Amino acid sequence: MPILKRTNIAIDLGTANTLIFKEGEGVVLNSPSVIALRSDRGRIEVVALGKAAESMLGKTPANISAIRPLKDGVIADFKATELMLTGFIKEVTGGRWLRSAPNILICVPVQATQVERRAIKEAAQSAGAKAVALIDEPVAAAFGANLDIDEPKGSMVVDIGGGTTEIGILSLGGLVYSSSLKVAGNVLDDAIINFIRRDRGILIGERQAERIKLTVGSVHPGASSSSMNIKGLEAASGLPRNQVVSTEDVYNATVEPVNAILRAVSSALEAAPPDISSDVLRDGMVLTGGGALLHGLPQRISEFTGVPCRAADDPLDCVVMGGGKILSEMKMKNFQKVSER
């Protein structure tokens, strides 16, 4: 019988983006976590995945739905998640995976319940995995950010994604403290939508709100200001109107959710055992995930907590890169053992 080399892959199944790391190759997929499905007399068919599906969000006819199957880091729609995972895995293994089904390591939010963990595993298994292992996201993020977490020394990572902010304090390769809050990129976008509606009487959508955040947004009160023109519908008349949105507007709109993140970071520092937190107070914390790129956030966190804070290099890739590193250190035996848990 020919010996088949089994493919090992690590997946960062994020609320906003899914990334896949293939052993020996690196990051081979980076796509929005979106799928478009057509239902025809009870039959469900995949119309588009990733970027193509994302461009259909909010613009589909009655028989097609473009959806984000994950919400707040957990599976909101099981069937859609399974179909999306299957599609992505096929893309990176060239569809030949039926003969040599991959071992899959999936990074999951720390607060995911046993039921949710099982759902993620089952989705991967139905997507064709040979064995599935799960790893806590902050551990993967810290590995991917190149923190030396295997030392007997405290280190801290804050991963701010689309749906959740995950905080981890680690030592000797494991979590000493972790917490998670459902305040992250999407909540900031919603806050911008609400602000523009309340303050300007104009309705905008999620994608426009995100664009405002990325273009002129800052969460630091002292940031240099810029502004941009946006188009939206006037709530009162329903007519299109132009409007200028500035850096201060975004700052004011997002004060509350940003404060929630600041308070969670402070609580984590207070909750960690003193010997570990003193390492963190000295060496600082690292931000990962797309939220690490929020203008002014590292500075804001370090001013609020008095602890040094910096964004990781390539923060959007940290979780999957860490997953990839863990994958290469995992022996097959461990894979089986972990997957049986």
d(CA 158, CA 154): 14
Handedness of CA 160, 161, 163, 166 (dihedral sign): negative
Q: Are 165 and 180 in contact (CB under 8 A)?
A: yes
Of 84, 82, 91, nearest to 33 by C-alpha is 84
Q: Are 305 and 266 in contact (CB under 8 A)?
A: yes
Q: Which of 7, 9, 13, 14 binds Mg ion (CB under 5 A)?
A: 14
Closest distance to ligand ADP from the beta carbon of 2 (Å): 38
Q: Give yes or no for residue 144 binding Mg ion (CB under 5 A).
A: no
> How many of the chain's residues bind ligand ADP (CB under 6 A)?
18
Selection from Mg ion, ligand ADP, none that 294 binds (CB < 5 to 8 A by kind) is: ligand ADP
Nearer to ligand ADP, 133 or 160 (CB): 160
Cβ atoms within 10 Å, residue 146: 14
Q: Are 324 and 298 in contact (CB under 8 A)?
A: no
Q: Which of 102, 185, 232, 323 binds ligand ADP (CB under 6 A)?
A: 185
Of 271, 316, 72, 22, nearest to 156 by C-alpha is 271
Q: Which of 144, 161, 257, 291 binds Mg ion (CB under 5 A)?
A: 161
d(CA 32, CA 326): 23
Q: Give yes or no for residue 161 binding ligand ADP (CB under 6 A).
A: yes
Closest distance to ligand ADP from the beta carbon of 161 (Å): 3
d(CA 211, CA 141): 25
Closest distance to ligand ADP from the beta carbon of 210 (Å): 5
Binding segment (CB under 6 A) for ligand ADP, from list 34-42, 97-105, 233-241, 287-295: 287-295
Task: Give helix 297-305 / helix 247-271 axis angle, nearest 10°.
Answer: 50
Q: Are 85 and 106 in contact (CB under 8 A)?
A: no
Q: Give yes or no for residue 82 binding ligand ADP (CB under 6 A).
A: no
Nearer to ligand ADP, 81 or 186 (CB): 186
Binding segment (CB under 6 A) for ligand ADP, from list 145-153, 191-199, 279-287, 291-299: 291-299
Of 288, 289, 287, 280, nearest to 307 by C-alpha is 280
Q: Which of 50, 163, 257, 298 binds ligand ADP (CB under 6 A)?
A: 163
∠ Cα 8 86 146 (to 5°): 40
What is residue 308's DSSP assignment? -
Q: Which of 7, 15, 86, 254 binds ligand ADP (CB under 6 A)?
A: 15
Q: Which of 136, 210, 279, 317 binds ligand ADP (CB under 6 A)?
A: 210
String marking each residue 273-312 x if it binds Mg ion according to CB under 5 A: ----------------x-----------------------
83: left (phi over 0), alpha (psi -120 to 50) or beta: alpha
Binding segment (CB under 6 A) for ligand ADP, from list 1-9, 147-155, 156-164, 173-181: 156-164
Residues that bind Mg ion (CB under 5 A): 14, 161, 289
Residues that bind ligand ADP (CB under 6 A): 14-17, 161-163, 185-186, 210, 213-214, 289-291, 293-294, 316
